[in-house]
Amino acid sequence: MHNSEYENIYTNELTHWWYVTLHSFIVQIIKKEFGENKNITILDAGCGTGGFLSKLSDYSQKEGFDFSDTAVDFCEKRGLTNCFVQDLNTWVPTRTYDVIVSSDVLYHKNITDDQLIFNRFYEALNPGGILILNLPAFEILKRNHDIVVETKKRYTRKDLRQLYTNSKFKGMQSLYRLPLLFFVVAVQKFIERFQSSNSSDIGYVSPWINRLMIGFLRLENKFLLSGVKLPLGTSVLGIFKK
């Protein structure tokens, strides 16, 4: 990922509707699985600028790592002292966790073997632990934003099922998020055919649109947590249990 995009994420991650609702959804999944137990161990594998970890103030046993020195520097600017530089391709777990979160990491062009990393996630979990993956969905939606964030592959529920089948995980749930944005992004991709510059989707959003999106997607999160399955979306999320 371009260093300028890390700064962009750092600036917007705590307020932008996309991050706010994703992080809230993941925290709700953790609470659904572990209740009010705040002593669980949590790893953010590919923690970026630390936005998600900053949402875990109630959990004392949390840490994260990222391939980028720049990203970890931004984590430190957030006051996070439990983040370190680590290439996920060469990561060998030295301890185990109750929860591993990896949000929008395996899609990256620098990932050499997503199955190998997926299996290492299994090794790094305690019995009964969960892995939460969030990834961009559907190759048909690949466009300028994917160039900026260096996307190699966009995933589907079928792709997550394949990772699961080739692992030792004992349980799996998968779902699509942001279905209405699927059509917005598809139109945007068509428009971008006539544009010469590449830009990120993350940036300033007017406050009223941001509030509207947060409210709408929190409602979507409630439906997803209740078991509703959507046929498509711009993101796909998987929950895997050891």
**What does the pLDDT read at residue 141?**
85
Which pairs from 161-165 meet CB under 8 Å and 24+ separation? 163/114, 163/115, 163/118, 163/238, 164/238, 164/240
pLDDT band (50, 70, 90) for residue 202: low
Domain hosting residue 149, numbered range: 3-241
How far, rounded to the nearest angstrom, does the alpha carbon of residue 183 sit from its chain's CA centroid? 21
- Selected residue with higher pLDDT from 144 and 125: 125
Q: Is the pLDDT of residue 200 over 60?
A: no
Domain with residue 78: its CATH number is: 3.40.50.150
State how far the Cα of 49 lies from the Cα of 213, in Å rounded to an integer.
22
141 φ, ψ (degrees, to nearest 5): -90, 0
Residue percentage of the chain with pLDDT more than 70 = 91
pLDDT band at residue 126 under the 50/70/90 scheme: very high
Is the predicted pLDDT of residue 28 greater than 80, yes or no?
yes
Whole-number Å distance between alpha carbons of 240 and 233:
20
Please report the pLDDT score of residue 3 as a whole number. Answer: 66
DSSP state letters, 114-129: HHHHHHHHHHTEEEEE
DSSP 6-33: HHHHHHHTTT-HHHHHHHHHHHHHHHHH
Residue 184, pLDDT > 90, answer: no
Q: Are 100 and 124 in contact (CB under 8 A)?
A: yes
Whole-prediction pTM: 0.92
Specify whether the CB–CB gap between 131 and 125 falls below 8 A.
yes
Most confident listed range (97-101, 141-145, 227-231): 97-101
The yes-or-no verdict on residue 201 having pLDDT over 80 is: no
Number of domains in the chain: 1
d(CA 197, CA 44): 32
